[in-house]
Amino acid sequence: MKEKTMSSVLKDKMPIGWYLKEADSLITKFMNQTLETYDIGRYHWQIMNNINTHDKVCKDLLYHQIHRFVNPAEYEEIFQSLIERNWVEKVDDNYAFTPLGKTIFLEVAAKHEANKVALTKGASEEEYLNTILFLEKMIVNLGGSI
C-alpha cells in the first residue's frame, strides 16, 4: 500500500482559517462553561489574570491588549462588573484584587488549569509550542505583531 505524501494529505484538509475559527469557537465555548459558573466571560478572566500576574493594572494600558476583541464600552462594562462584585478595586490610578477577588481568582484559575490540561490532552509540550510558534510566524507574515 502506497503511503500518502504530506501534500496529498493536505489536499484532503480544510483551509487553515477554518481550523483557526473552529478551534477559537470551541475553546471559547469550553472555557466559558467554567466561567459561566461565576457569571463571567473570557475577557473578565483576562483582566483578572493580568491583575494576578502584575498585582495591579493600569486600565488604559491593559485595554491595548484586548482592544481587538472588545470595544471601549464593553471593556468598561467588564471592569465595572468586577468592581461591583467587590472583586477588583481602584488603588491610586490602578486596579487590584480585593481579598474576595483574589479568592475567586484562585478558584477560577484552578478550574482554568484543569481545562487547559483537558484541552491539550494527547498533545506534547513540543507540539503545543510548535503550534504557537507557527501561529506567531503567520501573524508576523501577515503584518501583525507579537
* pLDDT, the chain, mean: 92
Q: How far is CA 124 from the centre of its chain?
A: 20
53, amino acid identity: T
Residue 5: pLDDT band by 50, 70, 90 thresholds?
confident
| Contact status, residue 121 vs residue 127, Cβ threshold 8 Å | no
Q: Give whole-number Cα distances, 12 to 3, 4, 23, 84, 146, in Å.
A: 14, 11, 18, 51, 31
| Distance linking the first and last C-alpha atoms of the chain | 44
| Contact status, residue 49 vs residue 31, Cβ threshold 8 Å | no
pLDDT in tens, 50-87: 999 999 999 988 998 888 889 999 999 999 999 999 99
Domains observed in the chain: 40-115 (1.10.10.10)
Backbone angles phi, psi at 93, to 5 degrees: -100, 15
| Predicted pLDDT of residue 98 | 98
For residue 4 the three cell numbers come to 500518502
Alpha-carbon dihedral sign for residues 69, 73, 78, 82: positive
